[in-house]
Structure 1
């Protein structure tokens, strides 16, 4: 799990969607991705700190596009 999210923070991957994460899977990665300019939320757009179905994107624009695609 961690490697793909680190690649988002590094700018090597645009988007990661990972369902069923526990808080300990994602909570340490959130500030890293956000400080790199990315966005991390649940698939519903809520805070990711509690885990769940997580969407991370390298930019706010990519995140918005991914959220639109998830909503159909």
Structure 2
């Protein structure tokens, strides 16, 4: 996992991945990645659907429909 966080989220923002699901991120792990993903049309939240800015268990998706489907699976 070393160094993959930034790479995976960058791949999502660039359109080369559809979904990134990471547990235990700190605010500094995700803070700078939220804007580029959202600018690319993606969505970033915690697994409970809350804001991701403070870190935690993070779900990032390429689009809102995929994000809702992934949240439904995560929260069973």
- TM-score where L is the length of structure 2: 0.93
C-alpha distance in 2, partners of 1:60/1:49? Answer: 18
CA-atom RMSD in angstroms: 0.5
Of 17, 41, 47, the residue aligned with 1:37 is 41
Moved over 6 A (4+): none
Deviation at 1:71, TM superposition (A): 1.3
Structure 1 gap segments, 5+ residues each: none
Alignment partner, residue 26 of structure 1: 30
Of 43, 57, 60, the residue aligned with 1:56 is 60
- TM-score where L is the length of structure 1: 0.98
